[in-house]
Amino acid sequence: MPDAKIRAVTVDFWGTLMFDPPASDNRYKQKRLADFETILRAAGLAVTPKALDRAYEESGRRLAKIWQTHRAVPVQEHVTTLLDALEPGLPGRLGSGAMAALVQAYANPALLVPPTPDLSAKGALTTLAAQGTILCVVSNTMRTPGVVLRKILERYGLLAPFKLLTFPDECGVRKPDPEIFHLTLRQLGLAPHEAVHVGDDPVLDVQGAQQAGMRVIQVTAMPPAALPRKPDAVVRQLGELPAALSQLT
């Protein structure tokens, strides 16, 4: 139904709402490892930075195998995976206080130096919300969990317009699996043709949402003819979104 009324817009987080330089991954890693060393030593465990680094990389490989199946696990399981890679059976030997501290240390580095928002996003989201459009976030997560991404949005005044936020570490499904879109729409009581997804990635966002039966607006500086997959529209930034949506209705 190409002319169906658009009742909801789902928006990607990374590369669409927020932007992080490549160096951020290593900065977050180093913060996690430093905090893990402090917490584990306080718990009476002798650990070295080198051993922690190896365990971190091994946990990444184990998590990647899960992510490749378009599935995800809670952040607590990220931590137990890392600890088990450090020393098999270690998670079961740590007290609840130490485990809680490790989960916080793992989850929170992005709050210290948060990603940069699309400065045009707030105006566009405010406009769409005022028009009665339901706004949601549907975004993959890596090591930074959804609970922290919400805090980042709130810090920039971008959380309030969103009625629903769907993240893999909370729902267990990752893009491009259409189910992450479908479960969001089920919570809204909407059909796929009533919603448009907005994101930057040709596979995760464009292919995933199209396979879910949704229309897609891709955020990209590339001309439409050069795109590997064909969205319904393109914008360079979210400030162009209200006008692009008006052309789809």
Residues 82, 216: Cα–Cα separation, whole Å: 36
Phi-psi domain of 13 (left: phi exceeds 0; alpha: psi -120 through 50; beta: other): alpha
pLDDT at position 221 over 60: yes
Query: pLDDT tens, 47-85?
Result: 999 999 999 999 999 999 999 999 999 999 999 999 999
Model confidence, pTM: 0.94
Phi then psi for residue 216, to 5 deg, are -135, 135
Residues 249, 245: Cα–Cα separation, whole Å: 7
- DSSP notation for 98-116: HHHHHHHHHH-HHHHSPPE
> Distance from CA of residue 39 to its chain's centroid?
27
CATH top-level class of 8-20+116-248: alpha beta
Report domain extents, the chain.
8-20+116-248, 23-112
Local confidence band at 183 (pLDDT 50, 70, 90 cut-offs): very high
